[in-house]
Structure 1
Amino acid sequence: MHRRGVQCTQRLRSHTSPNRHNAVIDFVRARSASSHKPNPNPYYRNKNGQRNESGQYIREKVGAIIGAATRTDADSGWKHSNAKRSDELRLVNAILDSSQLPAAVPPALAANEGNEASTDSDEVDFLTLQTMPEGLAPGSFVQIRRNHLVFECIVLRDDYFDGFYRIVCLSQTGKMLYAATEDIMFTLPKFVDEDLISRCGEAERAESSPQLMARVMALRELRAFCKAAEDGYNALARPVNTLFNQVCSANPDEWSKVTLAEAMKIVAPKDDTSSLTSFCLHSHMMNRSREFVADPTRYFLTQTFYVRPRSHSERIDSVAEMIRKKDPKLVAFAEKARRVIQRIRPARAQSIQEPPTCTIMKDVTYTDGDRTFIFYLQESLNQMRTTQTDPYTASMCAIVKAVGMHPGDITVEVVRQLLIDLGVFAPWQDFASRRLELGLFQGPEEESPIVKEQNSIMHRSLSAPPSAGPLGPEDFYPSDRLESVRHDFGDLPVYVIDDYGAEELDDGLSIETIPTEPGSYWMHTHIADPTSLLPPTHIFALQARRAGESIYFQHRTWPMLPRCFMNEGMSLGDSAAVGKPERVLTFSSKVDPAGDIVDYKVRASLVRNVHVLRYDDIDSALSLVTGVFHHPFGRSKASQLPLPPDYLAPSDIENLRHLATVAERLVNRRLQSPIILFTTPVAHLSVSPRPLPISSIDARQPSIYRGYPEVNYRIGGIDVLEKGSRGIIAEAAKAASRVASRFANERGLPIVHRGSLPPVTVKESDFQELMSLRSKEGLVYYWDALRLRAAVPPGTSTLESKSHFALGIPESEGYVRVTSPLRRYPDMIAHWQIKEALLSPGSKPLFSADELQTFIDEYVPNELLRKRSDRLHQLFWATMYIHRWKEANEASSDVFKGDWQMVYLPGLGVPATLVETAGHHVDIPIGQEVRVNVDKIELGSRPKIQVYQV
């Protein structure tokens, strides 16, 4: 199985175990200790591109904590007692010793004074770690956690290499550590003076006596604080023992959350503003993983712990006790498990060509004792970083060994496979959807308590008489508030174009020529209008706010808005299909021959003549130039699409051609700006049928799953996704978002804008080289950005109109998302805000700037979580498909020798780990192509593909 791999990072240090590294993570973090060279062009910038400078000297006032180590600038000379002098000499020696270490040792590699290989499997998203978080200025105290290792350090500066920022820290032992930002768990700003940090120098080794002495002075501060923290930690031991009972949910099966600040008020109400006490409590809660789980994605920002359900915590103890005592319940469960597995495995293997089905094994029942072990195994799969000790590991291994049907190393994938073999999980059960931060119900949708309650609310709301008073949490708008101002587009054709199987149709397009201005067009983007019925105070709206957006996974969808609500004609085309007009919010763009939007209109509207079409139909009917998906495993039956529908009249063909002309103009106009879109060929999978069958979550009886879904595996990047009819829809959505921003800007209307900054490069010549690499669509491959050491800042959400570099949109115009209110909550907020301005021009906006800022603060980190989860889910399905294909076509071998580095497989659209083999060393420059064979595939919460060079 030959594939081309593109090297995306520098050479990485050898790992001691081939089964313990994580492809995506080490892509970001690991770096060879033996081959690193000092950066000849150091680039120490903050996220705004400015040189980092600390603020004024403000020492942490912890008096008795720092004690004699505390001093001011005035008495910072070297007049110390002999004891202090001896301590300083030891610190000097530590720094001298550490200067012999490699220049950039990641924290996990510097553990225990050595260069141990990282075995961490923590998730790191290399697409979202390009800028520095707030609050990490030089001089800050930080705690770094990774691989169950903990380091207390002082931030010296931020550094940059291979496309990513790192925090350069000075540890207690005097070693320089390069920390990834997501490994920083706790910080105290301005821990030491700005001047002291600047005197430490930027070189890996102290280059003068003043630099060396400055580092010693910083270490005195750090060690004194850490000593005081040890005493404070011990003092908190008794009050922390009662914290869990005070913050866990009253429902014994329900998770809850508590912030560090909230816990402080409970544990130390008289000292709840002390930085030292806060740090000690943080350490306690990190160490009590049986009760508290630190936010796996963004703990540094949220300082939030998930509190385990009481039943989970008790089950951890009870299972450990049963295993210790060799309880007969465990023996009975293991015997039953073996019998069930011996029935389920053959049924699954024999039916691989059948469509997927699920039936209950009615002659087998799991007892309460059996379900204790089943639930324990399920709970052991809850996402957890190695910043904390996993309380499930030991007992989980003991249960798997007791069953005795899964030889070899015991990993989370083995536990998942055991649950599949027990008829508890479906063969397509993933890990990402089980992330506790997402809170997704895992059973059949109709069994969800929330869905049942939503159905009841919908029935009550529609059957209740309209309320004359203020709207309650279950009250819809009694009538269309914008009926008097809606523009009726009459018989103007509206084209709703999407993929086959699309669940929510948000937008449709219309086109009008302008007889008095030949060559110019009005392009109308009509957006579904759920807010015509749904007020922001409704319980469905509040649930949508918490959800943020719909989640589309391969095996099922978790919609943002209830299906019972969507069934009331919310999706475009539903009402028109039964002869009723469709309420929409229309964003109209007047586009001239040069591709400029020279005028605009925003209107609440009615459309009647709606045509629901599919991308491939339009591409075929118009003979559009489309991007070509690559199918590395051939086309599946599910991908064979029907021919264009016969009902496309000549007038429809003409209208669609006009839309294609406008889209082309908008693209050409944008490419006149110095924009860059970074792209990578990505695996796109589609599954049929959908949703896939799943069994009840009560695990009372095993389920027999037969068959497997049809999977279409194809590869494509932006160059494929934004051509042909897909490109028409994409350009219409961008134009609508620009129009929405203009509307808000001209009226001073608070609204959530999106923006993006240009990539940051070390040298101007590197940026110019990036520009020279652009394709005619303005695309540059992501590995070229890495090769040129370019940092790609993530998109921003702000109340101010911002430029959008990737789309060539100036700050004066801006960009506001409005095209997906059925699946994205920010778009709903924009609709409410805009419609209030249409209804009552000049009146007070529905949402104030402060309210919108509060929303941004809660939405952005959750958006990051959903993006990461989606990427992990898609990677899981791609890896699972490759694994199944490989098992059916060739045997596996293990050729791993030692060193490894990360590569990307454009032909498969996934990252992989290139391992060293005889005759092939892993020391390949970034961006170079090599031919590889897929050797080994590991499923799990972070799937991995291992390849070797041929």
Structure 2
Amino acid sequence: MYARKISEKNARKARKEKVMQLLAIKKANKEPNAQSNLQFVKPYSVDSDIGELFGPESVQKRDVLPGDFVEVRKDGKAVYGIYIQHFDQAEGRLLSSTMTNGDYILEHRTADVVFRIPGYIFMDKNKALVGHWDPEVNPTSPPMGAGNIAATFADDSLMLMGSYYTQFNKVYDTFWHKRKKTMVTIPEVARFVFGKETQEGGEAAPLTFQELYATHMFLTEDVSLMKFEPSVAVRWMGEFMLRTPEEVAMTETVINWFRNDDPRLKHFLDKVKVLIDCYRKGDRTSLTWSDIRFTESDRTIIDFVRQTAFKGYEDLFPSPYLTYLPRLLRPLGAYGDIDCKTAFDFLNEIGIWPSWYNMEINRSAISLTSGGDAERVIVERIKALNPECLQQDFERDIERIKQEASDKNQRSSTVQAVTQESKDRRMNPMVLQSPTEIYRRDPCDSIRHDFGHQPVYAIDDPSASELDDAFSVEPVPITTLTPQPSTWVHVHVADPTSILPPFHEMSLLAAERIQTAYLPERAWTMLPRALTEETLSLKNDGRPKKVMSFSARIADRDGEILEYKVRPGIVRNLRTLNYDEVDKVLSWDRVRGGRAEGNRVRNSVMSMPEVKTLERQYYREAKGTVSFEDQELAQSLLRLQVVAQWHTDARLKQGAFNFSLGRPMIELTPYPLPSIAESGWTSPVDYSQWQEPQISCSLDPSFASPSRLMVAEYMVMAGRVAAKFAQEHSLPLLYRNQAPPLEKYRPEIEGLIKEKVNIQTGMMDMVDILPFRPYISGAEISTASLGHWSMGIKDGYCKVTSPLRRYTDMLAHWQIKGALLSSNPSTTPVFSAQSMVPLAGYIRDRERILGMLEARSVKFWLSEMLNRRLCAGLPNIYEGLVLNPTADGYNVISTMLGFQTVVKAEANDIKELRIGDRVKFEVNNSIPQRPYIGAAHISAL
């Protein structure tokens, strides 16, 4: 507590000095509002809905645009100004800069922006001061004085924060202890501090921009960062995680020990000095190492250093821990320059972490391990209350359904009674009231379509544990009703909603997790493995499987969807095949580069150690799923490919296209890696006795594999069918949309697509598309069906084919089943459109965070492999393609492994380089813990 008081006292002193300086300036300028009381600040009113700054309503307004007020973080310091953005044709990329106080232009990354007010310079009062600015006419700089306006707003917000500081100091205790919150947003904190929370029977008073920014300033103060941690969504959602009281207490305790030279620090250092000495001598088997025990105070210090390692590389917000690390480690005399990398090395040398520990898992705003205990309790409860659900005895259910169908005097199923109740009470038949109650009988048993022994193909990688989609096709006889040659395509999807109601405790846990997280070391599943791998997976175990089937009747050759059906189904004749073996049967004429490119991708593999000593264990056999003597199977697979290509061609006619830069994939052995203790360390661990993981890096084969392209196309078909069903039934769903480029760029880009897209493969060359990538928006989820531009889909698309690993797909299944079972059109959907708006925002941001975590984890293991090669003196020279030149080199992508990095080069060596040129470069530095890859130019090719 003493440490916190000192820190807050210093912070208050700095704020007071800043405020007094501002008051003196205002008084000297004889501003009419200048008073000695800090309450003189008149906040700017909010001219538009605050949702434009934060919240799910701002889904389409996430981009930082010219004219925005922004706070940019450089070296942990806040800089305020007006944002500028323009496209540099020579470098082939968008450039970000900000006009700051004194009209200084600061160049920075867009990711350095942590707060924004949209269109600030275009507000009437600001236009009156500096004049009008048209970024289209003058894209490089706003009018003179714009930076000063931003600085004045920031200064006024700082004074407003100071005047309410007593109330701000109540935020942590109020939200953590009284309101039981683990995450807060800027608007909800601002409403609390400024007394604008919703009162009973009334509406909350509107917030002002100054109140919002004053709140952001408080939450990002150095002192506040010990209690509040900005999430990666801080710019989009204004989110801050509350550190646990235990972490806050730990931090304050250790800092207090530092300030008072507590003897517990010396006792800890005496132990770890012995451990470091043993580690560096390679003597970790002696009694000296194994006899050391960590006390409670030792564990507190270790946790402090762990947090330093996790947060030390944060380049936007300063770590509250890093300042104290030198004071702890310098007395050891074991390290030179002490930085965040030193924290990692220290924990490795004292037996807390192995040298290959991936810190990204704990850096993420999402805890992958949360909910594990709750999941185990829920599974045990299901086993106790409804063990038959995990056994999935479908044959018994099918016999019951047949018996009920044959007895015309008997009600067909319990579901009909529930459906009748829904007519009277407008209840959705999929909804159960108790959060622990699962379906005792599947609500859709009475309407399931039995696909008999029609062959159904599930094609995946042998490493995939969750087989959640399969498909089949059947020709349609030409009749008076179907005179056009056509084929039915059936996409069969695993059916977890046959067991789980939408508000069951396991469903709510899945909603919190949103999706399975796939990291190189292991997968953190959305649903329990007892369900995903055993009960519900579409594996070939000789048992029939319940599915949701999305069927489309496709016009032969034309590829248009003529008719569709959505049905709960049963499939019996499952064939589980592997991608690589199916590729040997299919045609390669629709794959860019053909079989030669496929072979190049498959052979683009690098491992460390170079000679593997362990064999990777897969969920299924890597070979033997396809017999080349089985001509019937081969013909069936070729027919599947032809039908998929018809649908692809139909999308290409609508402007669909694709391109691939390539990306690295990491495979570790053993898999999954053993867990590393995250707390409760009682003694050091000798990780030299553990199996160091083998690392293999290869190129993603998604666009160099006919089977993967075929499967992806069938998933697109299913998504279109689901969207058609939802629109026909006015059913709220979460659509995947991609807006076309802005009108001013659209004709040129679409003209380029028509000219450059390969009509066979649908692919564009990287050289052609890279200059236009900044103008192509990413896909977003929304309750409105707006089409997907680059996929050539204008009638709607939503994901429904992976409910074992994506919550949005489960949600779609509940919605669709509710509509299928409800004869009353006024029956309330399981999820209303209104409830989906905030859900869409949560899903989007969690997907974004998980995507960043997965990408950074891949980069960690890639960096670890490259670092091992550097340490072993092995060559680290690669060929690559230039993505865009930079001031002192260029960004490059490795053609062998798909990783991207910045290459340093002399100006004369690269003055002629252009986007897409081939180069040779050498990786000369790799820091896995950052993760970071450094490289130097060798030559142009």
1:487 is displaced (CA, Å) by 0.4
1:403 is displaced (CA, Å) by 4.7
CA distance in 2, matches of 1:800, 1:272: 27
- Structure-1 residue corresponding to 2:382: 458
- Structure-2 residue corresponding to 1:431: 359
**Residue 514 of structure 2, aligned match among 534, 548, 565:** 548
CA distance in 2, matches of 1:647, 1:82: 87
Task: Kindly report which structure 2 residues correspond to 1:291-330, keeping only aligned pairs within 5 A, or say none.
Answer: 291-330=226-265
- Structure-1 residue corresponding to 2:348: 420
CA distance in 2, matches of 1:880, 1:495: 38
- Structure-2 residue corresponding to 1:872: 856
**Residue 131 of structure 2, aligned match among 185, 195, 199:** 199
Q: Does 1:913 align with 2:908?
A: no
Kindly indicate which of the two structures has a greater share of residues assigned to helix. Answer: 2
- Structure-1 residue corresponding to 2:438: 476
**Residue 392 of structure 1, aligned match among 289, 298, 321:** 321
Q: Match for 2:804: what amino acid? A: L
Q: Is the 8 A contact 2:586 2:641 kept in 1?
A: no
CA distance in 1, matches of 2:60, 2:387: 53
Task: Kindly report which structure 2 residues correspond to 1:581-592, keeping only aligned pairs within 5 A, or say none.
Answer: 581-591=544-554, 592=556
Q: Name the SS of the counterpart of 2:345 in structure 1.
A: helix
Task: Kindly report which structure 2 residues correspond to 1:861-940, keeping only aligned pairs within 5 A, or say none.
Answer: 861-890=845-874, 899-916=888-905, 920=909, 924-940=913-929
Same amino acid, percent of matched pairs: 25
1:654 is displaced (CA, Å) by 2.8
The change in CA–CA distance for 1:366 and 1:255 in structure 2 (over 3 A counts) is farther
- Structure-1 residue corresponding to 2:763: 779
- Structure-1 residue corresponding to 2:402: none
CA distance in 1, matches of 2:622, 2:895: 25
The change in CA–CA distance for 1:858 and 1:348 in structure 2 (over 3 A counts) is farther
The change in CA–CA distance for 1:400 and 1:608 in structure 2 (over 3 A counts) is farther
Q: Name the SS of the counterpart of 1:508 in structure 2.
A: strand
**Residue 492 of structure 1, aligned match among 449, 454, 477:** 454
The change in CA–CA distance for 1:302 and 1:654 in structure 2 (over 3 A counts) is same
1:388 is displaced (CA, Å) by 2.6
Q: Does 1:278 align with 2:216?
A: no
The change in CA–CA distance for 1:545 and 1:499 in structure 2 (over 3 A counts) is same
CA distance in 1, matches of 2:506, 2:283: 40
Q: Is the 8 A contact 1:688 1:710 kept in 2?
A: yes
**Residue 821 of structure 1, aligned match among 789, 803, 813:** 803
Task: Kindly report which structure 2 residues correspond to 1:252-651, keeping only aligned pairs within 5 A, or say none.
Answer: 256-269=182-195, 273-287=207-221, 288-341=223-276, 363-383=291-311, 385-405=314-334, 407-441=335-369, 448-462=372-386, 470-516=432-478, 520-566=486-532, 569-573=535-539, 577=541, 579-591=542-554, 592-620=556-584, 627-628=598-599, 629=601, 630-633=603-606, 638=615, 641-646=622-627, 649-651=630-632
Unaligned runs of at least 5 residues, structure 1: 1-64, 71-80, 88-130, 351-359
Task: Kindly report which structure 2 residues correspond to 1:784-795, keeping only aligned pairs within 5 A, or say none.
Answer: 784-788=768-772, 790-795=774-779
Q: Is the 8 A contact 2:459 2:577 kept in 1?
A: yes
1:867 is displaced (CA, Å) by 1.3
1:793 is displaced (CA, Å) by 0.4
The change in CA–CA distance for 1:781 and 1:347 in structure 2 (over 3 A counts) is farther
Q: Is the 8 A contact 1:513 1:521 kept in 2?
A: yes
CA distance in 2, matches of 1:524, 1:892: 48
Q: Is the 8 A contact 2:869 2:875 kept in 1?
A: no
Q: TM-score, normalised by structure 1?
A: 0.75
More moved, 786-795 vs 299-308:
786-795
Q: Does 1:944 align with 2:933?
A: yes
Q: Is the 8 A contact 1:133 1:181 kept in 2?
A: no
CA distance in 2, matches of 1:920, 1:372: 52
CA distance in 1, matches of 2:29, 2:861: 64
CA distance in 2, matches of 1:892, 1:206: 44
Greater relative CO, 1 or 2 (CA 8 Å, sep 6+): 1
Q: Is the 8 A contact 2:664 2:700 kept in 1?
A: yes
CA distance in 2, matches of 1:82, 1:485: 79
Q: Match for 1:887: what amino acid? A: C
Q: Match for 1:903: what amino acid? A: V
CA distance in 1, matches of 2:586, 2:348: 47
More moved, 460-469 vs 818-827:
460-469
1:416 is displaced (CA, Å) by 2.6
Q: Match for 2:182: what amino acid? A: S
- Structure-1 residue corresponding to 2:685: 703
- Structure-1 residue corresponding to 2:821: 839
Task: Kindly report which structure 2 residues correspond to 1:650-689, keeping only aligned pairs within 5 A, or say none.
Answer: 650-689=631-670
CA distance in 2, matches of 1:461, 1:335: 55
Question: What is the CA deviation profile of residues 89-137 of structure 1, one whole-angstrom value per residue up to 9, with x for unaligned ones?
Answer: xxxxxxxxxxxxxxxxxxxxxxxxxxxxxxxxxxxxxxxxxx9845967
CA distance in 1, matches of 2:214, 2:367: 29
Q: Does 1:757 align with 2:739?
A: yes
Q: Name the SS of the counterpart of 1:319 in structure 2.
A: helix
The change in CA–CA distance for 1:794 and 1:452 in structure 2 (over 3 A counts) is same
1:659 is displaced (CA, Å) by 1.0
Q: Name the SS of the counterpart of 1:671 in structure 2.
A: helix
- Structure-2 residue corresponding to 1:714: 698
Q: Is the 8 A contact 2:889 2:906 kept in 1?
A: no
Unaligned runs of at least 5 residues, structure 2: 1-20, 35-58, 197-204, 390-413, 419-430, 589-593, 878-885
1:222 is displaced (CA, Å) by 4.6
CA distance in 2, matches of 1:338, 1:492: 69
1:551 is displaced (CA, Å) by 0.2
The change in CA–CA distance for 1:139 and 1:688 in structure 2 (over 3 A counts) is closer
Q: Name the SS of the counterpart of 2:901 in structure 1.
A: strand
The change in CA–CA distance for 1:714 and 1:346 in structure 2 (over 3 A counts) is farther
Question: What is the CA deviation profile of residues 285-322 of structure 1, one whole-angstrom value per residue up to 9, with x for unaligned ones?
Answer: 21134434443312122222212222222322332343
CA distance in 1, matches of 2:887, 2:842: 43
CA distance in 1, matches of 2:896, 2:926: 16
Q: Match for 1:736: what amino acid? A: A
More moved, 743-752 vs 639-648:
639-648
CA distance in 2, matches of 1:200, 1:685: 51
Q: Match for 2:168: what amino acid? A: V
Q: TM-score, normalised by structure 2?
A: 0.76
Q: Match for 1:300: what amino acid? A: R
Q: Name the SS of the counterpart of 2:293 in structure 1.
A: coil
CA distance in 2, matches of 1:695, 1:150: 36
- Structure-2 residue corresponding to 1:159: 86
Question: What is the CA deviation profile of residues 6-64 of structure 1, one whole-angstrom value per residue up to 9, with x for unaligned ones?
Answer: xxxxxxxxxxxxxxxxxxxxxxxxxxxxxxxxxxxxxxxxxxxxxxxxxxxxxxxxxxx
CA distance in 1, matches of 2:254, 2:512: 34
- Structure-1 residue corresponding to 2:427: none
Q: Does 1:174 align with 2:100?
A: no
CA distance in 2, matches of 1:920, 1:159: 27
CA distance in 1, matches of 2:725, 2:130: 48
Q: Name the SS of the counterpart of 1:679 in structure 2.
A: coil
Task: Kindly report which structure 2 residues correspond to 1:854-865, keeping only aligned pairs within 5 A, or say none.
Answer: 854-865=838-849
1:165 is displaced (CA, Å) by 5.3
The change in CA–CA distance for 1:788 and 1:739 in structure 2 (over 3 A counts) is closer
More moved, 910-919 vs 738-747:
910-919
CA distance in 2, matches of 1:767, 1:849: 33
